[in-house]
Every structure is written in C-alpha cells, then in structure tokens.
Amino acid sequence: MSLHSSHPAVVRRNTPPPLIRAFRGERPEVTPVWFMRQAGRSLPEYRELRVGTDMLDACLTPELASEITLQPVRRHGVDAGIFFSDIVIPVRLAGVGVQIVPGRGPVLEHAVRSAADVANLPPLDPAALDPIREAVALTVAQLGDTPLIGFAGAPYTLASYLVEGGPSKEQLITRSMMHSDPDSWAALLTWCAEITGAFLAAQIEAGASAGQLFDSWAGSLSVADYTERVAPYSSLALEPVRALDVPLVHFGVGTGPLLPAMHAVGVDVMGVDWRVPLDDASRRLGGEVPLQGNIDPALLTAPWSVLEPHVRDVLDRGRAAPAHVVNLGHGVPPDTDPTVLTRIVEFVHSYE
C-alpha cells in the first residue's frame, strides 16, 4: 500500500479539498488559490531559516524543506502547499554537478552538448530520492486537510539548463542541438524524462495530492518543434505518475500558442501565464479544461486600487472555464510584500 492511501486526512474526508475538486473540473463554493514560488524569498521567515544553508542542501534536508513548504500555508491560508524543492534536484541526485547560484539560478559544472556528454549522464538510483520521500511525508503529516502539490521540471526546460550550462534567455544552444544532433537530443530528453518522472512519482507516492509539470521555457519553441521534438518526452515523464491517479497540471511561460499541445501530453489542468486572458485560454482549449492562473506578477507591487480590479477580472474571466484555481501568471517576485499575497487570498475566498 502506498503512503498516499494510508494518509489519515485522505481516509477521513468524504469530499476532497477544494483544490482537488477544482482540478477535477468541479466548482467548489470558494475558488481555491495558491501561488507559484509562494515559498521562498518573499518571506522573511524563509530568509531567516536559509541563512548559512546552500539552496540545494536545504532542499535535501527533510526537516528544512518541510518547514519551508509549510511557511506560506500558515501565513497566507492558501489552498495548497507546493513542495519546496527545485527542478534540478533530480539532476543533482543522479550525481551531475549543479549548483544554485544566488541571484542567478541553476549552474552546471559542465554543459552537456555532445553525444559523449549525453552518454556520460548517470542513471538516477531510486534510493537517492529518499530525502524527497521523507520531506514529503513529514509535510503531508503536518498539512492536515490542505493538499500538497508535488512538481517537476519538464524535460525541455530541464535540458535547457544542462545544454546552456545555466539560465538563458532564448535557449539558443538547446534549440540548435534539437535540430543539428537529433540523436543526442532524443537521448538527452529521454534521460531528463526518466529522472524528472521518478522525482515527481516519489513525491506523489509519499503523499502529494497533485502534480505540476513546469515547462517554464517552452514558450521559446514553435508549435511544430514543441509537438514533434518535446511533447513526446513530456508524456514519457508523466508515465510513472499516470497510474497514481492524482490530478496533473502543466504550465509554461509565454505558451499561449502551445496550450492545446501542452494539454495533449495528458494532463488535467492547464496553467496560464499573464499574457492570455483566461476566457481566451479556455476557448483555445475547447472550453473543457480546468485552468490555473493568471494574476500578472507585475501588479503585486501596484496599489490595491489597481490590483483589486485586476484580480476581479481574472476571477470573472476564469468563469469561462469548467473550473478555476487562482494563481499568478508566473512565480512570486522576490521583492513582493507578502501581506499583499495574504490580501489576495482573502479577496479570492470572499468573492462571489
């Protein structure tokens, strides 16, 4: 029996929590809300806890990762926790040299660009995921009825860090490799799909109630490249979690033209960035897909008199979809005043 089915909160409830109901296409009495990157640098309690601990080490210390996951749930009263980790954790756990450089993001010891580089990528030992399983189990035990969302990076976004060697604006070297060396591309994306799928499955098996696949940088791709050279590997990454029967969300930035293709990899919910209004996004998806989004993160620093009508507009347009979970159109910017996030949660929960 999996830890999931033995989790007391799951066994006790008759109806699933509002987030899960919305992910399944229902409209609970109150619209659920959480924020991508809700854990992390916008919270003073996070900055305090992280002093002296490297980012990836924090992710791999179960008590710390669990506490950081719980901080925004306690503070904001959001409808879900998102597991505190990073998309490059499975890369590190496979034994590939990667660090999070403060203010920059994931940086690889060696960029992966040739057939030999790809052939040298080590397999991920399932036992290496134990700290992840332990952190999730600890977190779920403390969350009670609030669901935990597990996540992983999609193979393309993950591969972009490996090939570029770090963050990049338009993933030029990555997209060049996709066309110039299709065999290495296929091998690299297969490796990424296997490690990231195992990372996501470990979180769900340990008790996470939903999963989100982040293909953050897929917006740099044409629809043809996405469909032919990326989507099959995103499907492959989701293979180990399909049997686990939890709702799956797919999200990327600047992915308006890709929404139907990203839905077609086999997910239940589409995350939408701030560029596409939710009623438009719903039309593009045939009016049948629950949506998550899409408050513009730029407006978090605007006066409430500007932000409030925007949140209202997001909620109203979200009614075009069968179900709606409020979120931002991308992550919480680090300089966000956290009291603004709490105010949004209160507003969304009281909106009729």
Question: Which residues contact ligand 1CP by CB under 6 A?
Answer: 36-41, 55, 82, 84-87, 100, 102, 105-106, 151, 157, 167, 214, 216, 331
Distance separating alpha carbons of residues 111 and 92, to the nearest angstrom: 14
Q: Which is nearer to ligand 1CP, 39 or 137 (by Cβ)?
A: 39
Judge contact between 31 and 316, C-beta under 8 A.
no
Shortest CB 171 distance to ligand 1CP, Å: 10
Shortest CB 240 distance to ligand 1CP, Å: 19
Q: Is 114 annotated as a binding residue?
A: no
Q: Is 184 annotated as a binding residue?
A: no
Shortest CB 157 distance to ligand 1CP, Å: 6
Distance separating alpha carbons of residues 286 and 304, to the nearest angstrom: 34
Distance separating alpha carbons of residues 48 and 50, to the nearest angstrom: 6
Q: Which is nearer to ligand 1CP, 57 or 288 (by Cβ)?
A: 57
Q: Is 212 annotated as a binding residue?
A: no
Q: Which is nearer to ligand 1CP, 11 or 198 (by Cβ)?
A: 198
Q: Is 40 annotated as a binding residue?
A: yes
Query: Residue with CB nearest ligand 1CP?
Result: 105
Tokens of 227: 């469909």
Integer CA distances (angstroms), 100 to 86, 108, 165, 273, in order: 9, 9, 12, 24
Q: Which is nearer to ligand 1CP, 13 or 47 (by Cβ)?
A: 47
Shortest CB 172 distance to ligand 1CP, Å: 14
Q: Is 38 annotated as a binding residue?
A: yes
Q: Which is nearer to ligand 1CP, 107 or 187 (by Cβ)?
A: 107
Sequence-ordered list of residues with C-beta below 8 angstroms from that of 295, at least 6 positions apart, any chain: 274, 310, 311, 314, 326, 327, 328, 329, 344
Long-range contacts of 284-289 (CB under 8 A, 24+ apart): 284/256, 284/259, 284/260, 285/259, 285/260, 285/321, 286/260, 287/320, 287/321, 287/322, 288/322, 289/263, 289/321, 289/322
Furthest CA-CA distance within the chain = 58
Integer CA distances (angstroms), 289 to 25, 70, 232, 270, 283, in order: 7, 29, 20, 7, 9
Q: Is 41 annotated as a binding residue?
A: yes
Q: Is 233 annotated as a binding residue?
A: no
- Catalytic residues, by residue number, are 37, 41, 50, 86, 161
Shortest CB 218 distance to ligand 1CP, Å: 10
Distance separating alpha carbons of residues 114 and 184, to the nearest angstrom: 7
Q: Which is nearer to ligand 1CP, 137 or 341 (by Cβ)?
A: 341
Q: Give the E-state strand segments of the chain in sequence order.
A: 81-82, 98-101, 105-108, 148-153, 210-214, 248-251, 269-271, 291-295, 324-328
Shortest CB 64 distance to ligand 1CP, Å: 12
Binding site feature residues for substrate: 37-41, 86, 161, 216, 330
Binding site feature residues: 37-41, 86, 161, 216, 330
